[in-house]
Amino acid sequence: MSPILVAGLSLLAMLGLIWAGLHVAVVLAVVSFVGVWLIRGDMDIAASLLAQASQDAIASHIFGVVPLFVLTGFLVAIADVGKDAFEVANQVLRRIRGGLGIATVASNAVFAAITGISIASAAVFTRVAVPEMLRFGYDRRFAVGVVAGSSVLGMLIPPSLLMILYGFLANQSVGDLFTAGIVPGLLLATVYAIGIVLMATLWPRSVYEHGRPQSAEPQALMPVGTLLAKLLPSVLLIASVLGGLYAGFFTATEAGATGAAVALAIALLRRKLNLKSLWGVLTETGHVTVSVSFLIICATIYTRMLAMSGMPQFLVEWLTQAGLGATGFLIIYVLIAVALGTIIDSSSILLIMLPLMLPMAEQFGLNLIWFGVLTVVAVEIGLLTPPFGLSVYVIKSTLNDPRISLGDIFRGTAPFTLMMVMVLLLLIFVPELSLVLLKPPGG
């Protein structure tokens, strides 16, 4: 059996086993082990590769960035920073058409700039924003759709757990990836806000249940001092993490430690943390960190198996002979990423696709930081698409409202999915949007 055939069959076997419910990391390890065994015809070589990759994959201090940003996210969620950001945005934007929807997008953008976890955003704002929108007569599909759509900002606006994973797999600077995600993230949030205003103006029934907002008990205006007090924790966290990172004061790992320390101080000052909840936060951080580390180890094994098979070089030659070029390659790559997003989760897509596609991107001379931003946006579209839109399922389980079905949530996310596709196309054809902050002054 030829190495190329072995690699091809390993991809099919991988998708089948993941679809059957086997853990992604286990699938990667098993398929890679069997693949090397078949290519080299020696089980001892396959076992040695497995052991060596397990030792080398995460033997670096930079992997400390994973638990630190995960810990920051959990602490911020427990300190109600997301709720405060929504209340402030609601006060500022309440008189605009679709104001609560825009407030959800704005507060999600702020929350994303602190946590970097889309699923956390979906869970927090399902509890905070959806009941408020329903109270003011917003359509239930729109209410859940805007929460799902804006939750993807958590993986685009830095810090982003998905960008950290991409940085490890692609051997790229996590700090550069964070910087490159700022403009695309703000662009997507802006497009969402404009889209909501247009929907509320041109098709009001897509936003409001009866075509217009309903009166509810009057909202008391918050004093300016209260608004500033609620906004201060978010500003402190963003300034300390992203400000320090972008100014060059911190590495990504140091920024994660700073964010965790500031988030811990906020949670303690607000008396949101006791010994029991702190133990729960630390335990969850450990679970996520171990899961991500295991995934990276197994992805390293898979990458080495593919390199041994020669599959990346074979595909580069095939695409070159087909005359597709870099743009054709990008379009195919994005379509595959979006299609995979309908059946498996974001991290799994990265782990399956990048070992195969990164050598091809390098061969075509693509900037790998820009390629990373495109990858994250394409993969995040899968969080909103059926049948496996993970954000949709998180919202459904968090909401626990029998009046709102999975179908309602998927239909509510459709306009935001289309907006994401528009932004993705813009990022593909205007790479400067992702790279502008990486250019040196005057460059």
Domain borders along the chain are 1-56+296-309, 57-273+310-438
CA-only gyration radius of the chain, Å: 22
CA-CA distance, 421 to 404, in Å (whole number)? 25
CA-CA distance, 69 to 117, in Å (whole number)? 9
CA-CA distance, 407 to 164, in Å (whole number)? 32
CA 398 to chain centroid, in Å, comes to 19
CA-CA distance, 403 to 260, in Å (whole number)? 38
Give the per-residue pLDDT at 370.
Answer: 94
Query: What is the 8-class DSSP label of residue 172?
Result: -
Cβ atoms within 10 Å of 226's Cβ, excluding its own: 14
Give me the phi and psi of 208, to 5 degrees please.
Answer: -110, 145
Place of tokens 């015809």: 41
**Which amino acid would we find at residue 299?**
A
Whether this prediction's pTM lies above 0.85 is answered by no
Question: Which residues neighbour 341 within 8 Å (Cβ) at sequence distance 6 or greater?
Answer: 349, 378, 379, 380, 381, 382, 383, 385, 388
CA-CA distance, 294 to 253, in Å (whole number)? 19
Give the per-residue pLDDT at 443.
Answer: 41
Give the per-residue pLDDT at 186.
Answer: 92
| Coil vs helix vs strand at 208 | strand
**Which amino acid would we find at residue 208?**
Y
Q: Closest Cα partner for 76 from 186, 243, 237, 235?
A: 237
**CA–CA distance from 49 to each of 17, 39, 70, 267, 357 (Å)?**
22, 13, 30, 44, 22
Q: CA triplet 31, 15, 59: central angle to 5 degrees?
A: 50
**CA–CA distance from 199 to each of 27, 91, 211 (Å)?**
44, 21, 11
Give me the phi and psi of 138, to 5 degrees please.
Answer: -75, 150
Give me the phi and psi of 117, to 5 degrees please.
Answer: -130, 115
Pull the structure tokens for residue 316: 């580069």
**DSSP string covering 3-38, please?**
HHHHHHHHHHHHHHHHHTT--HHHHHHHHHHHHHHH
Q: Closest Cα partner for 348 from 340, 356, 358?
A: 340
Give the per-residue pLDDT at 213.
Answer: 62
pLDDT along the chain (443 residues), means of 10: 82 78 79 85 80 68 75 82 79 79 86 73 80 84 90 82 85 87 92 92 85 57 78 83 77 83 89 87 84 77 78 72 78 84 74 83 90 91 74 78 84 91 93 82 42
